């Protein structure tokens, strides 16, 4: 719950409360109509850029993330490319006003790997995002899927940072989100599960429930095939 509360507080006090609310929902994993997101960004962006309103730019960037997430899963490749280019543009506007904004570095990272693939420049952008905000829950919920999808290409340091994102989400008891991250992270799955081993058994069983709900079957020393509590297995 603390992570969710921070998600909302991170977007308060911007010029458009509606944009902040939508941004908060996207950071929690909610989906919105792309037409709505596109309209809000188009209406709010000129003013935010003109006055270098970094709080508004941050919220609008989150909306652009949500928009691009929807369209890159669709069949309209031209629109997907435009929405990813929008992430790059908005991220650079945000960084021009607030160079320490982690989500801005994450935006140029995602746009970069979508447009040119993973390379040293993309790795540097991702590393900067981690340096700027290693443990901010609302950023981790957005960053972790992006980092874990490229896990095999990451340096050892970035792999550990991505695993820490997952661990922080798990420790915050955001089990549905942690289960989705585990499903995404095929190559990292053993490492991520290792991060959960010292959690109380009842917490691991709750997590396992959401893992199964996500359609994933796991085989790991900390998750026996018989998922009943220990006292029922004896």
pLDDT reading at 22 higher than 70: yes
Half-sphere exposure of 160 (CA within 13 A, CB side): 2
Q: 119-137: per-residue pLDDT in tens? A: 999 999 999 999 999 999 9
Tokens of 105: 């570095």
- Report whether pLDDT(115) > 70: yes
Specify the pLDDT at position 15.
46
How far apart, in whole angstroms, are the C-alpha atoms of residue 33 and residue 116? 28
- Same domain assignment for residues 67 and 121: yes
Residues spanned by the domain of 53: 1-133
**Both tokens assigned to 39:** 């309209």
**R_g over Cα of the chain:** 18
Domain count within the chain: 2
Q: Does the pLDDT at position 1 exceed 70? A: no
In a shared domain, residues 163 and 103: no
8 Å CB contact between 77 and 50: no
Burial of residue 178, with CB atoms counted within 10 A of its CB: 0-12 exposed, 13-18 middle, 19 or more buried:
buried
Is the pLDDT at 14 greater than 70? The verdict is: no
By CB neighbour count within 10 A (0-12 exposed, 13-18 middle, 19+ buried), where does 217 fall? exposed
**Do 38 and 74 sit in the same domain of this protein?**
yes
Q: Name which of 7-16, 75-84, 190-199 the model is least confident about.
A: 7-16
> Residue 57 — φ and ψ, nearest 5°?
-60, -40
Quick one: what percent of the chain has pLDDT higher than 90? 79
For 37-51, what is each residue's pLDDT tens digit? 999 999 999 999 999
Instruction: Residue 5: name the closest of 130, 172, 180 by CA.
Output: 172
pLDDT band at 31 (very low <50, low <70, confident <90, very high): confident
Q: What is the pLDDT of residue 6?
A: 37
Residue 150 and residue 198 share a domain: yes
Average pLDDT, the chain: 90
Residues above pLDDT 70, as percent of the chain: 89
- Residue 156 has a CB neighbour count (10 Å cut-off) of 7
Among candidate residues 115, 133, 151, the one where a domain is terminated: 133
**Are residue 68 and residue 161 in the same domain, yes or no?**
no
- How does pLDDT run across 158-205, given as a tens digit for each residue? 999 999 999 999 999 999 999 999 999 999 999 999 999 999 999 999
Contact 147, 126 (CB under 8 A): yes
Closest CA to 109 of 74, 73, 161: 161
Whether 184 and 89 share a structural domain: no
Domain boundary among the residues 113, 133, 153 is at: 133
CB 168 within 8 A of CB 196: no
Last residue of a domain, one of 133, 158, 178: 133
What CATH number did the domain enclosing 10 receive? Answer: 1.25.40
* Residue 205: per-residue pLDDT: 95
pLDDT class for 11, splitting at 50, 70, 90? very low
Same domain as 93, residue 9: yes
Same domain, 65 and 101: yes
| Residue 80 shares a structural domain with residue 159 | no
Residues 119 and 159 in one domain: no
pLDDT at 228: 60
Task: Check whether residue 190 and residue 87 sit in a common domain.
Answer: no
Whether residues 114 and 5 fall in one domain: yes
């Amino acid at each position: 719950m603390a992570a969710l509360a921070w998600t909302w507080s991170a977007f308060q006090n911007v010029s458009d409360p509606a944009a902040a609310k939508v941004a908060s929902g996207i950071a929690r994993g909610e989906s919105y109509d792309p037409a709505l997101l596109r309209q809000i960004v188009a209406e709010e962006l000129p003013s935010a850029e003109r006055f270098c309103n970094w709080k508004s730019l941050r919220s609008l960037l989150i909306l652009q993330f949500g928009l691009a997430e929807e369209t890159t899963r669709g069949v309209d490749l031209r629109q997907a490319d435009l929405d990813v280019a929008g992430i790059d543009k908005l991220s650079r506007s945000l960084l021009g006003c607030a160079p320490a904004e982690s989500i801005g570095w994450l935006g140029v990272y995602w746009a970069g790997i979508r447009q040119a693939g993973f390379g040293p420049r993309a790795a540097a952008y991702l590393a900067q995002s981690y340096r700027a905000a290693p443990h901010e829950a609302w950023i981790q919920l957005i960053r972790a899927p992006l980092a874990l999808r490229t896990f095999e290409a990451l340096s050892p340091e970035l792999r550990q940072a991505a695993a820490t994102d997952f661990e922080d989400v798990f420790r915050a008891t955001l089990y549905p989100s942690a289960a989705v991250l585990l499903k995404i992270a095929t190559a990292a799955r053993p490492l991520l599960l290792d991060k959960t081993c010292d959690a109380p058994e009842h917490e691991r069983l709750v997590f396992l429930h959401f893992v199964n709900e996500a359609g994933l079957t796991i085989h790991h020393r900390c998750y026996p095939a018989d998922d009943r509590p220990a006292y029922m297995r004896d």
